[in-house]
Amino acid sequence: MPLRGESCIGITMSVDRATFAAGCFWGVEAAFRTTDGVLNVTVGYTGGGVKNPTYEQVCSDRTGHAEAVLVEFESSKVSYEDLLDLFWAVHDPTTPNRQGPDVGRQYRSAIFYHTPAQRDKAVASKARAEKAGRWAGRRIVTEIVPAQEFYRAEEYHQRYFERRSAANCRVC
């Protein structure tokens, strides 16, 4: 759902939201944060049934939540389709409930759409990704589901790599 904001010079701009789960949220956040047109990236939890979950609860794999990122972006500078392309590039969407050494439903691949238009674009993007064959014939297992309540993760997870001067994540 678009947000309305005012820039520092008084021009109103439209801010859209996108929510993605692609494994450990630290590396996913870093990738989206460096994208032109992205205004903010928040790491957190979505897609589960527990209100205000903690990291420890989500890691227990009993809340149903995924580690996810909420991306706020200016669609006049970066399209939702461009964000989808980045989503496919930053993880392996063929491994159910797993990214690298991280295993559990909290590490699933998912696109949480905010509008019917986002749903349609996500479905089309997934079809293009499957047809491209990048993953050597393995089936893409990415869920495309309606956005649910997004819970901001604890502060020490926000901008994790920036705070630790790490360039990227190859472990999570």
Structure token pair of residue 63 = 């809340």
Query: What pLDDT sits at residue 162?
Result: 66
Cβ-contact 19, 112 below 8 angstroms? yes
Instruction: Say which of 24, 59, 169, 172 is annotated catalytic.
Output: 24
DSSP 120-156: HHHHHHHHHHHHHTTTTTPPP--EEEE----EEPPGG
Three-state SS for 39? strand
pTM of the model as a whole: 0.87
Respond yes or no: is residue 24 known to be catalytic. yes
Q: For residue 4, count other CB atoms closer than 10 A to its CB.
A: 8
* pLDDT tens digit sequence for 80-100: 999 999 999 999 999 999 988
* pLDDT tens digit sequence for 45-60: 999 999 999 999 999 9
Q: State the fold for domain 3-159.
A: Peptide Methionine Sulfoxide Reductase; Chain A (3.30.1060)
Q: Where are the domains of the chain?
A: 3-159
Cβ-contact 119, 144 below 8 angstroms? yes
Task: Read off the DSSP letter of residue 104.
Answer: S
Task: Say which residue, 1 or 87, is predicted with more confidence.
Answer: 87
